[in-house]
Amino acid sequence: MELFDFLKPQSGSGNLNDSDRLFLTAKGGIVELKKEYKDLSDKGKYEVILFNSLTVLRVYRENHPSKYASIEEGFYKALFSQAKSYGITQSPEHLMNFINSRFQFYSQELDKIYDRERTYIPGKIYSAFYLTPLAKNPEPSFDLHEILMFFKGLSTMTKWVRDNTNKI
């Protein structure tokens, strides 16, 4: 089975649009993290989807700047629908504010990870995914052994998400 087979439409389901394919790629990263590290709570899975959403939206915008505006609405609808299916019952306005704040948070965390001038341990990302998902301000974990094992899974997942987004 190809890596991207889960994104192919099933018989009778019609064609998936780019919004759907991007969302499924962000969500599919959960499987990669679970394989490389360990499973998550539903709230933790939502955090992973938000983290991966930042990557899929950035890569898609770089690859298809003229098509980007056409996928945003569908993508955000999928994010809201997934929140509901995970039992996250915030008002739409509160959820949108949370999503935007998480995008800022994860963007800053990714900048620190990719900063070649220094070493960064993603203790806050680990906390957001596993210890206190959906917390307003995730506090860093200092369990270095656990975070190093997590970081391997995070790196594998991020590469998988980027590679599969580039196929869209």
Domain boundaries, the chain: 19-165
Interval 50-99: pLDDT, tens: 999 999 999 999 999 999 999 999 999 999 999 999 999 999 999 999 99
Question: Is residue 9 very low, low, confident or very high in pLDDT (cuts 50, 70, 90)?
Answer: very low
pLDDT interval class at 114 (50, 70, 90): confident
Q: Which residue has the higher pLDDT, 138 or 114?
A: 138
In one-letter notation, the amino acid at residue 79 is L
Q: Could you identify the residue written with the tokens 């039992």?
A: 87
Region of residue 133 (phi > 0: left; psi between -120 and 50: alpha; otherwise: beta) = beta
Q: Which residue is it, tokens 């569908």?
A: 74
pTM: 0.89
Q: What mean pLDDT do residues 30-48 have?
A: 97
And the tokens for 13? 């389901």
Task: Look at residue 14 in the predicted model and tell me its pLDDT.
Answer: 54
